[in-house]
Amino acid sequence: MKKLFIAFWRRNLAFSELAIVSNLEYRFNFFIDAFVQPLITVGIELLMWFAIFETANAVQIGGFGRDNYLAYGVWAPFLGRIAVSWMYESMMVEEVASGSINVILTRPISFYEYYLSQLMGYKVTTTLISMIAPLAVSLFFDLPVHYSRLPMAIALVFYYLFLVHTLSFVISTFAFYMTRVRSLTLVKNLTLWLLAGELVPIDLMPPAIAKILLLSPFPAGVYTPVAYITGRADSDLVLQSFISVTISMVVAVIIGAVLWRKGLQSYTGTGA
Amino acid sequence: MSFVIETQNLGREYKTYQKKEGVLNSIKGFWNREYTAKPALKNVNLEIEGGQIIGLVGSNGAGKTTLLKILSGLIYPTQGSVKVLGFEPWKRETEFLRQMSLLLGQKNQLWWDISARDSYSLLTKIYDIDVNTAKKRVSDLADMLSCQHVLDTQLRRLSLGERMKMEIIGSLLHNPKVLFLDEPTIGLDIVAQSAIRDFLASYVRDYKPVVILTSHYMDDIAQLADRLLLISKGEMVYDGTVKRFSQTTETSKKLIYRYKNDLQERELIFQDSELSEKLNEVVKSGEVVNLKIEEVDFEEVIHRFLAKESRI
């Protein structure tokens, strides 16, 4: 048992390393993705919220002041970037559709595990670098941020990432049946973007919708951790998010496992 | 006797969407699609012992890749049973996957963006091999294939021949008991083909795995295979040695000759019984300056056999 456990970690750390090594091969792309893009996003958010408060000529909107929105606007895209899996989901779908998955199917590795570890390796690395932008802006403008709450908030987003990856796994199994499912990836990610509260803070939504959304697992990706570090919510909401993510993950894993098994039965080993 | 690979009435059927011509039919196909079932493999019975190189030959679409995919666990059979190393391959049990390897000549098995050495390090962890043992094995195999100098280069920067050598090392790193090689020499120049052939022959002699080899280069099969499996339209049409195949299926010979004004030699393939007749024809048609009679080479025998089978 101990041997299996060690082998498991050894293998998965190697997959994480693979993600880091592969991405560092393309230095320019990595630099843009991990540093320039978050910087530009933070810049846009700052300009947008400054402009909104200037033109509204108001001290508060929806019960929150400019600095609260600035803090939300700076941290929401940062956490939202952690909580999506465009690149790896596209790779997973492409692997199934093109038949490159043959390499994984004929080796003693699991497709789910292989991409999960790569996703985590990549996210940890980019998070460490891209966090510089929101941190610097928060400190410079002295925004209302509880820095001691950051580790818990980031832990929640990374936990939510397991659910995001499981959903990516489910989407990729569709490629066994339909081959081209890129449109599904787009729809799913836009939906998550909205439901997570990255586009509009959930407390600005109609109360009935906000109430339902907060019970769902999706705010765990953006709204709940941002609300927690900016003081809009307390640890109860964080705990509730951990629970709803766990429940959703169990459901998604079951659906994914069934679709995977059925998909393999209809798989024709395309491209080999 | 226990066999490494055993199949009984193995078969596989593919369902294919029949798309009729035109936009209207594309719109109809949006909600109502017609599928036809096409058998790619029918009633294949095999018994393969350890330490053999099996040449699997057939024309395009004959079913050889389907057979490899079933044996390696990539796809499910729709008929019959199959056991490889005592496992049902489609269950993809870890113990089975640890003991076999599939090398697809037209696909990369290693990672495109990293060096071969980085790929081997990853494979070492995937197969849970001792690091020092793996390093020694990479070094030994690289020596055998004379490719130590490219181990630290990213795969995408290597030539096709070098890349194939890297792929072969990767597929042998965990010392598989069964090795499926699908077109391992495809696209390679004659020197690289020969190097890979020599390597495979010596590797199998030393390590005794079962190798199932498909190739469009019949020289690969003629020089390496202990046993030949010929597949046509999804059915096994020959199972035996290469030598016996050449002897029993063809009694043809090749007449190679050149007339006085010819720049190149001419060839004529004929049955043994036609020798006098063909010689007469050739001699009567011009002034022959060079003439020899040879056995028809294996590649030609196979091609002629397959062409004949396809007509049936």
pLDDT value at position B42? Answer: 92
pLDDT value at position A237? Answer: 94
Average pLDDT over residues B236-263: 80
pLDDT value at position B312? Answer: 46
Flag if B113 and A107 touch (Cβ within 8 Å): no
Average pLDDT over residues B268-277: 80
- Mean pLDDT across chain B: 86
Q: Which of A101, A176, A268 is the best substitution to test chain B (most B C-beta atoms within 10 A)? A: A268
- Going residue by residue through chain A, which has 272 residues, state the pLDDT in tens, using 9 for 90 and above: 788 888 888 889 999 988 888 888 888 888 888 888 888 988 888 898 889 888 888 888 877 888 888 998 899 989 998 998 888 999 999 999 988 899 999 999 999 999 999 999 999 999 999 999 899 999 999 999 999 999 999 999 999 999 999 999 999 999 998 877 888 888 898 898 889 988 788 888 888 999 999 999 999 999 999 999 998 889 999 999 999 999 999 999 999 999 999 999 988 876 55
pLDDT value at position B107? Answer: 81
Closest partner CB to B65 (pick from A11, A108, A272): A272
pLDDT tens-digit profile of B138-193? 999 998 888 899 999 999 999 888 998 999 999 999 999 999 998 888 877 788 88
Interface confidence, given as ipTM, is 0.82
Flag if A268 and B65 touch (Cβ within 8 Å): no
pLDDT value at position B88? Answer: 96
Maximum average pLDDT range among A178-192, B120-134, B226-240 = B120-134
Over 70: is that where the pLDDT of B101 sits? Answer: yes
Closest CA to A76 of A168, A194, A201, A178: A201
Chain A, window 65-124: residues with a beta carbon less than 8 angstroms from a chain B beta carbon: 99-100, 102-103, 105-109
Higher pLDDT, A23 or B295: A23
Q: Which of A11, A18, A95, A106 is the best substitution to test chain B (most B C-beta atoms within 10 A)? A: A106
Average pLDDT over residues B54-82: 90
pLDDT value at position A271? Answer: 58
Higher pLDDT, B186 or B109: B109
Residue in B with minimal Cα distance to A268: B75
Burial class from Cβ neighbours inside 10 Å (0-12, 13-18, 19+) for residue B13 reads middle
Three-state SS sequence of chain B: CCCCEEEEEEEEEEEEECCCCCHHHHHHCCCCCCEEEEEEEEEEEEEECCCCEEEEECCCCCCHHHHHHHHCCCCCCCEEEEEECCECHHHCCHHHHHCEEEEECCCCCCCCCCEHHHHHHHHHHHCCCCHHHHHHHHHHHHHHCCCHHHCCCEHHHCCHHHHHHHHHHHHHCCCCCEEEEECCCCCCCHHHHHHHHHHHHHHHHHHCCEEEEECCCHHHHHHHCCEEEEEECCEEEEEECHHHHHHHHCCEEEEEEEECCCCCCEEEEEEHHHHHHHHHHHHHCCCEEEEEEEECCHHHHHHHHHHHHHHC
pLDDT value at position A164? Answer: 95
- Read off the tokens for B207: 């390590």
Residue in B with minimal Cα distance to A17: B122
Q: Which of B115, B122, B152, B171 is the best substitution to test chain A (most A C-beta atoms within 10 A)? A: B122
State the smallest CA–CA distance between residue B180 and chain A in angstroms.
11
pLDDT value at position B15? Answer: 82
State the smallest CA–CA distance between residue B140 and chain A in angstroms.
22
